[in-house]
Structure 1
Amino acid sequence: MNPKSLIIDDNPFIIDSLSDQIRQHHPEIEIIGNARSGREGLEKVRTLKPGLVFLDVEMPDMTGFDLLGQLREITFQTIFITSFSHYAIKAIRFNALDYLLKPIEEEELRQAIRRFYANLGKTANQEHIQQALDNLKTETPQEQKLFLQTQEGELRLPLKNIVSIEGERNYSYIHLANNTKKLSSKTLGHFEEILSDKGFFRCHRSFLVNGHYVQGLQGPGHFLLHNGNLAPISRRKKSEATAWFREYLADNEH
């Protein structure tokens, strides 16, 4: 049975362009409809029951996340569509969701479709979306959970369990509160991008620390962590690191 897809975007040009690309390069995917607002999209998701939804993140009447949050159950895979909005990209990357940047490039679409087929019959896409919705409802960043692909498989880690992240070339070691560590194929720059507004700080080219576990400054060039370990502070980051730590303490006083 051919996959049935629905396109939801408030920009008719994006709908037409994406529809043309799918018909030309992925004719096996049936386009069963489109919607130009979140409310119309919500109605069509419920009535048409697609297997794949291309969903705009930011629409005037509701966001794509708002739309998904109104569904009792998410039974389809979602590929988000977004402009280069810093907030939207960070939310999508933090929750390990699939997305396409506008204007949609043919190669990017091809890769997204390939991932869609790879996930057929699996619940990973829906689980990531549900976790994203849960994270958006969570007011305390430390209570949010991060999807992490490791050698052991995919893990879902609460941020409050991460003490620091240490970069090593194109890999990163995630140091946990229970004194274990996990190896990720993501770079330290990736983690800095998605965690910098959640209480984490890049204090050194190879270190990202969680403010929740920073006990204080140790000497001229280190943070003292709760487990007694030291995280280096680069010379050029010293004043910024001191200011960040003071601000973090002020924001998290109880």
Structure 2
Amino acid sequence: MKPVKALIVEDNTFMATVLCDLLKEHATYIALVDVANTGRQALKLIASTKPDVVFLDIELPDMTGFELLQQLDKINFQTIFTTSHSHYAIRAFRFNALDYLIKPIKENELDEAIQRLLKRAGNNIEVKHALANLGSRSAEDQKLLLSTQSGMLRLPLKQITHIEGERNYSYIHLSNGSRELSSKNLAYFEDILIDKNFFRCHRSYLVNRYPIKALQAGHFVLKNGIEIPISRRKESEAKAWFIILE
């Protein structure tokens, strides 16, 4: 196997050392080219070393990991983000189907991330998609990236009317009347869409504000005529949410 050149971007010296040791012990085919502790240093090393993969800390002293990537004309490497239990960052990673590791990094999670890295074989469409989402002025212009058995789906949020949960699965309903099946449960979608004008109005339903036509007793009415039930305990919260976003 051809060595995979890796660059670590991490401002915490101890964390960088731990990751270096883990890579040497568990991924001998990965060749560490250097370690950067700031975004500016990372940009220079990316240009000079041309890594195949960058382990990128999401919060650096001079910029975020996303800001670093936005400064590149081309992204010719895979990215595995690292974060210290930042719920906001993890939500963004999941929404954009990005690969990430939570610090302190565990051996099995690193192994799994590397296996996914090798399967992608240079495809960094997720990172490019995430940067496009960050550049969108409104949530409805963003796209949800979702991995399925048939491949990667890119669903514009404004085309999602609602998501229906069924045990450990979810049906994503689209404005054209079709639906997509996901192996993720409704709680997963609630977490990554809660800040994008979606509301959990019922234990089985998550609704998008964009296609709602009216709020009536016990349900939302969508522009296509479909009624989405509101549970009794959610009625007051649903009304407040609807009024605020009108």
State the TM bucket, normalised to the shorter chain: over 0.9
Displacement of 1:152:
4.0
The letter for the 1-side match of 2:163 is I
Q: State the TM-score, normalized to the length of structure 2.
A: 0.97
Distance in 2 separating the partners of 1:48 and 1:97: 23
Q: State the TM-score, normalized to the length of structure 1.
A: 0.94
The letter for the 2-side match of 1:239 is S
Q: In the alignment, which residue of structure 1 is the partner of 2:36?
A: 35
Match of 2:188 among 190, 206, 209: 190
**Paired residues, number:** 245
- Partner deviation per Cα, 1:93-130 (whole Å, 9 max, x = no partner): 11000000011111111110111111124x2xx11101
Q: In the alignment, which residue of structure 2 is the partner of 1:142?
A: 140
Q: In the alignment, which residue of structure 1 is the partner of 2:113?
A: 112
Distance in 1 separating the partners of 2:23 and 2:149: 34
Q: Note if contact 1:149-1:185 (Cα within 8 Å) is conserved in structure 2.
A: no
The letter for the 2-side match of 1:165 is I
Match of 1:172 among 165, 170, 173: 170
Q: In the alignment, which residue of structure 2 is the partner of 1:246?
A: 243
Displacement of 1:147:
1.0
Displacement of 1:203:
0.3
Cα RMSD after superposing both structures: 1.0
Displacement of 1:149:
2.8
Gap regions ≥5 residues in structure 2: none
The letter for the 2-side match of 1:168 is E
Displacement of 1:139:
1.6
Q: In the alignment, which residue of structure 1 is the partner of 2:80?
A: 79
Displacement of 1:148:
2.1
Q: Note if contact 2:97-2:147 (Cα within 8 Å) is conserved in structure 1.
A: no
SS at match of 1:32: strand
Gap regions ≥5 residues in structure 1: 250-254
Q: Note if contact 1:150-1:182 (Cα within 8 Å) is conserved in structure 2.
A: no
Distance in 1 separating the partners of 2:146 and 2:118: 21
The letter for the 2-side match of 1:43 is K
The letter for the 2-side match of 1:167 is G
* Alignment of structure 1 residues 35-114 onto 2, 5 Å: 35-114=36-115
- Partner deviation per Cα, 1:34-60 (whole Å, 9 max, x = no partner): 100111011101110010110000112
Distance in 2 separating the partners of 1:31 and 1:150: 32
SS at match of 1:27: coil
Q: In the alignment, which residue of structure 2 is the partner of 1:218?
A: 216
SS at match of 1:212: coil
SS at match of 1:22: helix
Moved over 4 A (4+): none
